[in-house]
Amino acid sequence: QKEVEQNSGPLSVPEGAIASLNCTYSDRGSQSFFWYRQYSGKSPELIMFIYSNGDKEDGRFTAQLNKASQYVSLLIRDSQPSDSATYLCAVIRGLTGGGNKLTFGTGTQLKVEL
Amino acid sequence: KAGVTQTPRYLIKTRGQQVTLSCSPISGHRSVSWYQQTPGQGLQFLFEYFSETQRNKGNFPGRFSGRQFSNSRSEMNVSTLELGDSALYLCASSLIPQGTGANVLTFGAGSRLTVL
């Protein structure tokens, strides 16, 4: 089982629709969860992070966390063509020898169609 | 303020050679993390340095090494290059170590390595 799993997509949604991106993680002790966006040929950039169960909203973006189900999602309302990118889910997990590290999923490619 | 700077941006090497990549973090950032990104594997954690000390290391062979200098600049080295080392190598910096509070990584543009 991968530490952080995402459907690779592509996920295609029409302009103006809600895009729903999902991520599951294996380490029940994970505490912090991040969503990064990566445009083709560019480096990842942070969209938002979430620590607590429930929803966190930032503009058109809403992150949802369910620690019991080990599930985190990102909703993008009113999707725009400029949202077309790969979305990376990242989770902070502890290491066997101590310390923590940020582990990324392989990303979901989102295509917003006109 | 300047972002994370990685050099070189592109390089081509042949099998068996070695390569050194450089990363200058955002001013004031003391944590530097390195990732390897390939189409099939996504972003794989290589190592993290904080205040010149390696805090964590990913599951990569000993051919991959790194270091951090007193000014927080970091270098990573890959020796005896293999074809499978072809990838985008990303450096990310943050104020505080990974796993500590609201640790937000800022990525550089990456160094794209091609091994022939």
What type of residue is B10? Answer: Y
Q: Is the pLDDT of residue B97 over 80?
A: no
Do residues B87 and B38 lie in contact, with contact meaning Cβ atoms separated by under 8 Å? yes
Place of tokens 């294996």: A26
- Which letter does DSSP use for residue A44 in this model? -
- Which letter does DSSP use for residue B25 in this model? P
Report the pLDDT value the prediction gives residue B56, as an integer from 0 to 100.
Answer: 85
When the pLDDT of each residue in chain A is averaged and rounded to a whole number, the result is 91
Do residues B68 and B77 lie in contact, with contact meaning Cβ atoms separated by under 8 Å? no
Q: For residue range A16-37, list pLDDT tens digits in order.
A: 999 999 999 998 888 889 999 9
Q: For residue range B30-86, list pLDDT tens digits in order.
A: 999 999 999 878 899 999 999 999 988 889 999 999 999 999 999 999 999 999 999
How sure is the predictor about B99, in pLDDT bands with cuts at 50, 70 and 90? low
Torsion of Cα atoms, B25 then B26 then B32 then B36, to 10°: -70
Measure the CA–CA gap between A79 and A101, rounded to whole angstroms.
31
Do residues B46 and B35 lie in contact, with contact meaning Cβ atoms separated by under 8 Å? yes
Alpha-carbon separation of residue A4 from A72, A104, A113 (angstroms): 10, 6, 27
Residues linked to residue A100 through DSSP beta bridges, in sequence order = A94
Inter-chain touch B99–A44, beta carbons under 8 Å: no
Inter-chain touch B43–A32, beta carbons under 8 Å: no
Report the pLDDT value the prediction gives residue A101, as an integer from 0 to 100.
Answer: 76
Do you know the residue count of chain B?
A: 116
* CB-CB neighbors (< 8 A) of A44 in chain B: 43, 90, 105, 107
**CB count in 10 Å sphere of residue A57:** 12
Chain A contact for B99, CB < 8 A? yes
